[in-house]
């Protein structure tokens, strides 16, 4: 099997930057707004999302292709995927707790949030919708996770500065945070066309 590295890079870059899950597709906005208070927790959350995305994508792809497609059970996709993600998260939690308490300490608290994190479910479903091969699916999940991590960390940095800002009374709190997110999202529009220019599609 020959692997088209150029295609893989394109998939990863577009998942991470051009079609950034949080800032362009609005997937996983809740944790993005809720856990971006300080750098430590946003890094933890970012890593947890990346990890679970990778794991979920590499497990759900074979399930879809070898189980659901062959048995004509495609309509069960949503139910099966969300259950698989929930189970995986539980499993990872138990394993981390037992074998790596230090890692559990930093990632563990964010794991239960993953089941209702639509970004994770969205990665697995869009991998199937796009007709990716197994490697492409894993790479796109990695890209999506990296994009989430990047958005999270940048946003935390910006948000720490807005804490000392003095906006109009009504804009205090979440409206200000949302405006910050809007500007960051605008910044990510700068990546539009980067891939076409770099790789000449």
Partner 1 sequence: MTKLNILTRGIIKENPVFMLLLGLCPVLAVTTQAENAIGMGLATTFVLLGSNIVISILRKIIPNRVRIPCYIVLIASFTVLAKMIIEAYAYPIYQSLGIFLPLIAANCIIFARAEIFANKNGSINSILDALGFGAGFTLALLAIASIREIFGNGSWFGVEIPWLTNNSAMIFTLAPGGFIVLACLLAVVNKISKDNERRKNIDCKTCPNACICGRT
Among 122, 141, 151, 152, binds partner 1 (CB under 8 A): 122
Q: Could you give the angle at the alpha carbon of 31 between the alpha carbons of 137 and 116, nearest 5°?
A: 65
**Among residues 166 and 169, whose Cβ is nearest to partner 1?**
169
Q: Which stretch binds partner 1 (CB under 8 A): 4-12, 50-58, 150-158, 168-176?
A: 168-176
Q: Which ranges of the chain does DSSP label H, i.e. alpha helix?
A: 5-13, 29-34, 39-62, 77-99, 101-107, 118-129, 134-162, 174-188, 194-199
- Give 115-172 as a 3 state SS string: HHCHHHHHHHHHHHHCCCCHHHHHHHHHHHHHHHHHHHHHHHHHHHHHCCCCCCHHHC
| Interface map 50-69 toward partner 1 (x if CB under 8 A) | --------------------
* Length of the chain in terms of residues written: 201
Under rule CB under 8 A, residue 183 binds partner 1: yes
- Choose between 189 and 199: whose C-beta lies nearer to partner 1: 189
Among 91, 165, 179, 198, binds partner 1 (CB under 8 A): 179
Residue 104 corresponds to which tokens in the numbers above?
């559990």
- Decide whether 3 or 91 has the Cβ nearer to partner 1: 91
Angle between helical axes of 118-129 and 39-62 (0-180°, round to 10): 40
Contacts of partner 1 in 128-167 (CB under 8 A): 129
The smaller minimum CB distance to partner 1, of residues 15 and 82, is found at 82
Binding flags for partner 1, 96-115, as an x/- string (CB under 8 A): -------------x--xx-x
Which residues, at least 6 apart from 33, have a Cβ–Cβ distance to it below 8 Å? Answer: 174, 177, 178, 181
Using CB under 8 A, list all residues that contact partner 1.
Answer: 23-30, 33-35, 37, 75-79, 82-83, 86, 109, 112-113, 115-118, 121-122, 125-126, 129, 168-179, 181-183, 185-186, 188-189
């Amino acid at each position: 099997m020959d692997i088209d590295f150029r295609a893989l890079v394109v998939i990863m870059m577009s998942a991470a930057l051009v079609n950034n899950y949080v800032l362009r597709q609005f997937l996983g906005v809740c944790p993005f707004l809720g856990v971006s208070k300080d750098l430590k927790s946003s890094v933890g959350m970012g890593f947890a999302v990346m990890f679970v995305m990778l794991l979920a994508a590499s497990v759900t792809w074979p399930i879809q292709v070898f189980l659901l497609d062959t048995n004509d059970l495609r309509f069960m996709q949503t139910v099966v995927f969300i259950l698989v993600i929930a189970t995986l998260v539980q499993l990872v939690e138990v394993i981390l707790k037992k074998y790596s308490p230090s890692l559990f300490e930093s990632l563990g608290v964010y794991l239960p949030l993953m089941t209702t994190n639509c970004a994770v479910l969205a990665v697995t479903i869009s991998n199937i919708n796009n007709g990716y091969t197994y490697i492409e699916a894993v790479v796109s999940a990695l890209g999506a996770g990296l994009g989430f991590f990047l958005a999270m960390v940048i946003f935390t940095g910006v948000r720490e500065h807005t804490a000392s800002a003095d906006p109009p009374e009504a804009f205090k709190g979440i409206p200000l945070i949302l405006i910050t997110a809007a500007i960051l999202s605008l910044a990510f529009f700068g990546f539009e066309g980067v891939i076409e220019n770099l790789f000449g599609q």
